[in-house]
């Protein structure tokens, strides 16, 4: 990638904030790429198994109903975006030294290391520095173009990857933290909230996933586990609560079949209604924070 075209269309260059003469070309490319995205939102969880990737993908699909959205699968060891959107085997293309994200719809484009593996079962056996280098490349060399949102699905926990993403982007709009209602999950979510505060990253809200069961016939949501723990924890930690997402058999089938976008954007399902509410709450919180 040459320095002559690195800043083409870059808002930072137009405003004079980026003069295209920085010593590190990748740093220059990173700053220009991120300047074209209005909201950079991380999706975090304190532990695995709470449905974080499914929430991130559904949230991106819900936002893309009327906005240009990018979804970065930063979970290098468990990339799920290709399967969720029926993109397994898709080829990543390049243009003028830039990597093009894979289109799901005209408004939703995604990127995942899963597109670069020989097979879905190929493991990524990397140490920390190589993982951070890959994340930096996804953020600086992928041509996200002009986007209202970049949703970043981070690995669970508070380790290298989420820390590296925050430090690489430099200025994120905030984080959405996913939990389930059980106290075991909530303990780890409190750590995620503290993690964000220590890094001065705004917590845009908590999503309580697997909150009740949505009947596939009538759509009524019935609690089968504890319910309300995420909202109570959010109140205790003084962070916003975005909403509850029920266990929806339709979403499970859609994820397995790679039909998530079609299911999410169909009217009437309990899950789609819940994510619409989360989307609107997130938008309000982003608006009030800006």
Query: Can you say which residues are annotated as belonging to the binding site?
Result: 46-53
Residues 154, 240, 227, 53, Cα dihedral to 10°: -20
Token pair 């990737």 is at which residue? Answer: 53
Is there a contact between 24 and 271 (Cβ–Cβ < 8 Å)? no
Is there a contact between 43 and 151 (Cβ–Cβ < 8 Å)? yes
- Binding site membership for ATP: which residues? 46-53
Give the whole-angstrom CA distance, residue 11 versus residue 172: 17
Q: Which residues contact residue 194 at a Cβ distance below 8 angstroms, ignoring those fewer than 6 apart?
A: none
Question: Which among 148, 147, 201 has a CA at the least distance from the CA of 176?
Answer: 201
- Positive/negative CA dihedral, 113, 42, 84, 234: positive
- List the structure tokens of 218: 């009538």
Give the whole-angstrom CA distance, residue 201 versus residue 224: 34
């Amino acid at each position: 990638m040459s320095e002559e075209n690195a800043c083409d269309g870059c808002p930072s260059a137009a405003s004079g904030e980026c003069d295209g003469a920085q010593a590190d070309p990748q740093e220059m490319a990173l700053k220009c790429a991120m300047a074209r995205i209005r909201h950079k939102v991380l999706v975090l969880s304190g532990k695995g198994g709470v449905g974080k990737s499914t929430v991130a993908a559904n949230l991106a699909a819900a936002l893309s109903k009327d906005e240009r959205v990018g979804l970065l699968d930063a979970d290098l060891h468990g990339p799920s975006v290709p399967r969720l959107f029926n993109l397994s085997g898709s080829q990543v293309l390049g243009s003028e030294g830039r990597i093009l994200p894979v289109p799901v719809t005209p408004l939703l484009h995604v990127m995942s290391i899963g597109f670069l593996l020989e097979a879905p079962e190929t493991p990524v056996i990397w140490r920390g520095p190589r993982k951070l280098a890959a994340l930096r490349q996804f953020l600086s060399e992928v041509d996200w173009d002009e986007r209202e949102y970049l949703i970043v699905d981070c690995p669970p926990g508070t380790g290298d990857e989420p820390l590296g993403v925050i430090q690489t982007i430099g200025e994120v709009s905030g984080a959405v933290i996913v939990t389930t209602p059980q106290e075991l999950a909530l303990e780890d979510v409190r750590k995620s909230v503290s993690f964000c505060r220590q890094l001065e990253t705004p917590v845009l809200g908590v999503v309580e996933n697997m909150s009740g069961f949505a009947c596939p016939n009538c759509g009524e949501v019935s609690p089968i586990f504890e319910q309300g723990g995420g909202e109570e924890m959010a109140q205790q930690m003084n962070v916003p609560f975005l909403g509850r997402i029920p266990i929806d058999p339709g979403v499970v089938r859609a994820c397995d079949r790679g039909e998530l976008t079609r299911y999410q954007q169909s009217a009437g399902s309990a899950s789609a209604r819940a994510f619409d509410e989360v989307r609107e709450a997130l938008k309000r919180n982003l608006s009030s924070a800006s």
